Structures are given as structure tokens and as C-alpha cells.
A and B are shown apart, each in its own frame.
Chain A
Amino acid sequence: MKKVELLSPAGDLERLKYAILYGADAVYVGGTVLGLRANAINFTIDDLKEGTKFVHDHGKKIYVTVNIVLHDKELKIVEDYLKELDKIGVDAIIVSDPTIVDIALNKTNLEVHLSTQQSTINYEAIKYWENKGVKRVVLGRETSKEEIEEIRKNVDIDIECFIHGAMCAGYSGRCVLSNYLTNRDANRGGCSQICRWDFDLLDEFGNKIEAEKPFTFSSKDLSMLKYIGDMIDLGITSFKIEGRMRSIYYLATVISVYRKAIDDYLNGNYEYNKELENTLNRVANRDSIPQFFDSNYGANTSYYNGRVELSNQDFLGVVIDYKDGYATVEERNYFEKGYNVEFFGPNIDTFSMKIDKIIDEDGNDIDIVRHPGEIVKIKTDRKLSPNDIMRIKIS
């Protein structure tokens, strides 16, 4: 059986734990320096130690993004930081700047993965990095199925591809819209996502082109669920989910779906179905498509419906305990008696039920749970475990 890695983002320790528990084979995280999500919570050295221990205790892997494009003033901290990561025992670093590649390979024992920021999309470029000692290349998102196949034939190196999440509109590393429009450095973790902004489009004479929606670079998101079998057959090593700033609910949902799809395919019984796609769609901000994989990247890939990043109300609560037929649930969104809900989790088959009984912390029967963080008990038909998730019934 082929080994395929499902690689999840993790913006903090809580998300790291959920990613691992829900089926990720590896997580990628950012430290507090030299990563490309400067404004995420990120991992302190202590967090990295704790996260690495947790991941390794579960037999999984942890990669740290050190994918900033260096300026002179950052040079002095690189070596010490890499040595610290080496000492902690992370499994690899994800790197874009060759200075960091060089230091990691020559002064530490760290395994190096080349970041998608280098937009590597052909086998000759990969050969260069392979010869240098890089173990894995994260391909540029512009590669098609046929291109990946040709790359696979020409190099032995591990190949990592994105399978799900938001897309850059341009070649990674080749966009500094953020620098020019907001003075925030896109290649040093400050990207202000100008590609999601609305603009007027003017013709070459300066006349505004009137249309129903404003002009934008915005792209739909990526979803490779339909092609997961093709990707496994191509010999891709690692399947990467985008989104270090995403919630635990998002991660648990997306990882669960892809975990099932990958395992089913490897066991010979995967069938793409709308139900799984629908589950993914419920946590999506935008429509999702295969993007460049099927070489169909025309008008259908652009997204003109503006920013839709509403708080997801599907996520109702997290199970923190289970005893005597009652799940103790920490509330995340409003729910009430009579709601049709679903429970899903790392060790259960997803099931649905109607909420018939809710008890508050003082033992009183209540009808409504409205406060985020509120702890209640819910009578359930099946046994649950801590970290299982309750959501509104999807289908």
C-alpha cells in the first residue's frame, strides 16, 4: 500500500492537537520569527517543544515554516533559530530563502522542504534543489496533473501539493501588491490580501468598465476531493491543507473528510460523493474547484462575490467529557432543544440526533444555550469522547 501524508496547518497548540487527533499525519506550524504568517498567534519555543512532543507521542510529524524572504537585518538570527529547532527535534523546516536552506543543510541536521514561495513548477528546477540536499519540494500551485506526472517521472524527491484551501491569485513570491498598497511586506508575512480587494477596471483610455460586480483578482478556493485518487496514483508524497489561521472546527471538518477519502481510496473503496463535498462546502468561505490541476483555469476560477468570511454558525460545541449517557459540551454557537445536530470525531462514525434534553452546570433542565463557553450536558444515544465536535446537521 502506498504511503500518503495528510498535512495540516496548525496556528496554535489547540489546533495542532485537533489536527493530529482528527487524522493528520503531520502538521506545519510557524514560529514567532521568520515565518510567513507574522500576524497569526504562532508558536513560541515552549509551544514548539510541547507541540513536537504531542505530535511525536502520536507517531506523527511536525514541520516548522521558516519561509520568510530575508532582509539583511534578519540574517543574524537565522542560525541560532535553526539550531534551536534542531534541538527541539522538529521533523523538517519549510524554507524559501536559499540562505536558510544553506545554513540548515550545513550547520544543522534539519530536513529541508522547499516552500511553495519559490514557485517550483518544473523538474529541472527540482533537480537543482534535490542535488543540494533538499528532501521535499512543495510544488507551485500552477501545476497541472500532466505536469506533476512528468515531474514525478524525472525526479525522486518527495513532492508535496496543496489539496485544499485558499489560493494566491499570482505566482507565490511574485506578488508584492501588499507592499505597494498597504506598505505591508507580502514576502515577510505581512500580506494584506489585496487580491481580495475590489477595484474599478479602466480601459486603456481611463474609462471605467461598468459591470454588475467590481473587478478583483480574487480566486475561488482549491478543493481536490474529486481527484484524490488521481493524486495518490501520481505518487505525490504529501497532501497539504492550507490555512494556519483557520479554526479547530474548520480543521477537524476538512481533515476528517480527506482522511476518509484517502483511507477509502487506499483500501479500494473510495467513491467521490456529494455528501463529502457538501461537508467541505459548509466550512468554506468561497466556492472551491480543482484550479490548475485539470488545466481549466479560465473565468470559472475567478471569484466576484466579495469577502464572505462570516463566522460559521454550524459549529455548536466541543465535547469535553462523557458520562452516564450525557456528553458534557462547551458551547461555541447558539443552540436549543429540538435542534437536529451531528457529532463527528476522531474515533466515531458521524451520527445525527435531535437534542431532547439539556442540563446546565447546576443540574437544571434548560431549553437554550446561548453563551459561548457555557458548559452544559446533553443526553446522547451514543458514547462520545473529549474533542468530538457537535455541529448543526448538514445533510
Chain B
Amino acid sequence: MSRVLLVPNSIEDITKLKDKVDGFILPIKDLSINYNYYIDIKDIDKILKELNNKDIFISLNKNMHNSDLPKLKDTLLMLENYNIKGIMYYDISIVNYKKELNLKNDIVWNQDHLVTNYSTVNYWYNEGSKYAYLSSEITKNEIIEIKKNIKAKLIANIFGYVPIFTSKRNLVNNYLETFDKEKVSNIYYMYKEGIKYPLVEEGNGTVAYSGYVLNAIKEYFDLDLDYYVINSFLIEDIEKVVDIFNTLDKDNLEKCYQKLSKLIPNTSEGFLYQETIYKVKR
């Protein structure tokens, strides 16, 4: 039976929705990126106690610089004291720390767009990653093929905006500064041919999101993955979205899909049925 994780937008989301989802992905300030809400490591004890019976994944998915390593190491050691499902990583330093420090917490291979084949899922599984968080740029058939050939548990995005670009540069600020404009918010949009792509710029750089909200609910039962992720970033009424998922069963799949499409008009099934190309015909 698949379980649903929420990427919260705020502490209020956590409090309000903790009884409606199976668990949360919790990003830690200064060690995570691509989120709109980060938890100070000092507050983690209180939050985890409040979420005692939930499936908790801690996201430490930033590209780590040398200067991040002391805090990263301390955080990994501190998290050994808590009952969490796993630690999501992008940077391979975390795999090395798991080995060097003999850490007991499971880790989750979460290299955004690189989680695209079963062989590499198995590679990281053998290196201690008991979970893999699939790329959102692969097809349904590829996901099925991966699932058939692995032992790791799988996590995939099912609803929400998808991060599609991460930079260390402050690209919005660079632009505004160059043309003598004031930066008044962390959220902007880049706009092209009728599509708005959200841009978030905070301390660790710039993130661009998909121009649509991924809605893969139709594949919930067919794919039958271990965890599905709902990302609440920029979703105004996330509670209604969660409520729809909570009413989901095999008989009302289409109805739930329609309800979500009505609630959030700007949705897409992403790459589930559309393979990307890389060799351009001349």
C-alpha cells in the first residue's frame, strides 16, 4: 500500500495536516535547497516529537561545499537519535559519512534528475541507500522497468510544482541589480509563450520550477510505489488537495483526477507518457 508524504509550506501546514498524510519531507535550513520552508536544526527535536507516529524523511539535498561539511556531519550524528525513515541526499559526501561514521539511519538517493535507471538504483542500494527518489523526467514504462529490477523502496513526485533548475547564482537579484530595480520578494516568475515558471531565490541560490503542476494521481495504483510526494509549494489550498488524495480508491480515480484538475487548472502529467529526445534529426 502506497503512502503519501507532504512537502510542507510552513509549520502551520505540518500542524494542520499531520493527521491527513502518512508523513513529511522536512528540509533543514542551510543544508537543503529547492524548498520554500526550512526547519532550523534547533527546532527539529520539538517537531519530530510532535510527529512521532509519522514517516519522516529529512532532506539534506544541497550541493555541499567544504564549509557545509561540519554542520552536515553534526546534523547526521544528531539525527541518529531520532526515529526517521531516511535522509535524502544529493551530495555524495553523505554516502561517505554514512560509511565513515557507521550511521544507522537509512539514506535516500535523491539526485533530482539523475535517478533514471534501475542499475544505478541498485548501485546506490548496495552503497546503503535503501530508498530511491525517482526523477520526474522519466516515463511510466521506465518507472515500471525500474521497479521490476530493484530491491530499494521507491519514492516519486505525484503532485505539485517540480524543481527543474538549481543554481548557486542569485540570478533574479543579478538582473534587478543590473537594471537598478528593487528586489521585493523571494518569488518571481520567468515568462515565455504564455507559461509562467516560478523562480525562488533565497540564501543558497536560485531555483526554477516547472510551468505546470504535476498531477500523476491517475498512476497511483498502477505504479504502486512505496511513497508518493505532494509538494505544497505555491498550492493555495493544499488541504483540499490532500483531502482528495484521502478519498482516493481504484473506483474513483478519474473523479479524483478531475477534481484536482478543477481545483488546480494548471496541471500536467509531465513526462509519464512523453519520452524526452536527445538526438535531434537533421
* Chain A residues at the B interface, C-beta cutoff of 8 Å: 38-39, 69-72, 74-75, 96-99, 102, 118-125, 127-129, 131, 140, 142-143, 147, 150-151, 169-171, 173-177, 179-181, 183-190, 197, 199-204, 206, 208-209, 211-213, 215-217, 219, 292, 297-299, 301-302, 304
Known: A176-B164, A184-B280, A197-B192. A75 touches B117 (CB 8 A): yes
* Chain B residues at the A interface, C-beta cutoff of 8 Å: 63-69, 90-93, 95-97, 99, 111-114, 116-120, 123-124, 137-138, 142, 145-146, 164-179, 181, 184-185, 187-192, 196-197, 206, 208, 210-211, 271, 274, 276-280
**Would A97 and B142 count as touching, CB distance under 8 A?**
no
**Would A98 and B97 count as touching, CB distance under 8 A?**
no
Distance of B77 from chain A, by nearest CB (Å) = 14
| Residues on A with beta carbons closer than 8 Å to the beta carbon of B69 | 122-124
A377 to B249, CA, bound (A): 81
| Residues on A with beta carbons closer than 8 Å to the beta carbon of B63 | 119, 121, 140, 142, 171, 174
A195 to B175, CA, bound (A): 14
**Would B278 and A190 count as touching, CB distance under 8 A?**
yes
| Residues on A with beta carbons closer than 8 Å to the beta carbon of B165 | 169-170, 174-177, 217
Known: A174-B63, A211-B179, A299-B177. A179 touches B188 (CB 8 A): no
| Residues on A with beta carbons closer than 8 Å to the beta carbon of B278 | 38, 184-185, 188-190
Known: A180-B210, A200-B190. A189 touches B279 (CB 8 A): yes
A127 to B95, CA, bound (A): 10
| Residues on B with beta carbons closer than 8 Å to the beta carbon of A129 | 92
Residue among A72, A97, A125, A219 with the highest chain B CB neighbour number at 10 A? A72
Across the interface, B169 reaches (CB within 8 A) one of A75, A97, A169, namely A169
Across the interface, B188 reaches (CB within 8 A) one of A169, A197, A204, namely A204
**Would B178 and A124 count as touching, CB distance under 8 A?**
no
**Residue of B with least CB distance to A190:** B278
A297 to B204, CA, bound (A): 13
Distance of A226 from chain B, by nearest CB (Å) = 21
**Would A180 and B164 count as touching, CB distance under 8 A?**
yes
A304 to B176, CA, bound (A): 12
Distance of B165 from chain A, by nearest CB (Å) = 5
| Residues on B with beta carbons closer than 8 Å to the beta carbon of A197 | 192
| Residues on B with beta carbons closer than 8 Å to the beta carbon of A188 | 276, 278
| Residues on B with beta carbons closer than 8 Å to the beta carbon of A177 | 164-165, 208
**Would B113 and A183 count as touching, CB distance under 8 A?**
no
Residue among B64, B68, B118, B279 with the highest chain A CB neighbour number at 10 A? B279
Known: A70-B117, A173-B113. A203 touches B185 (CB 8 A): yes
**Residue of B with least CB distance to A211:** B179
A202 to B199, CA, bound (A): 10
Known: A120-B92, A169-B167, A202-B196. A69 touches B190 (CB 8 A): no
A292 to B65, CA, bound (A): 13
A74 to B118, CA, bound (A): 11
Distance of A199 from chain B, by nearest CB (Å) = 4
| Residues on B with beta carbons closer than 8 Å to the beta carbon of A71 | 116-117, 138, 142
**Residue of A with least CB distance to B210:** A180
| Residues on A with beta carbons closer than 8 Å to the beta carbon of B164 | 175-177, 179-180
**Residue of B with least CB distance to A144:** B65
Known: A169-B169, A188-B278, A215-B175. A128 touches B117 (CB 8 A): no
**Would A199 and B192 count as touching, CB distance under 8 A?**
yes
**Would B114 and A302 count as touching, CB distance under 8 A?**
no
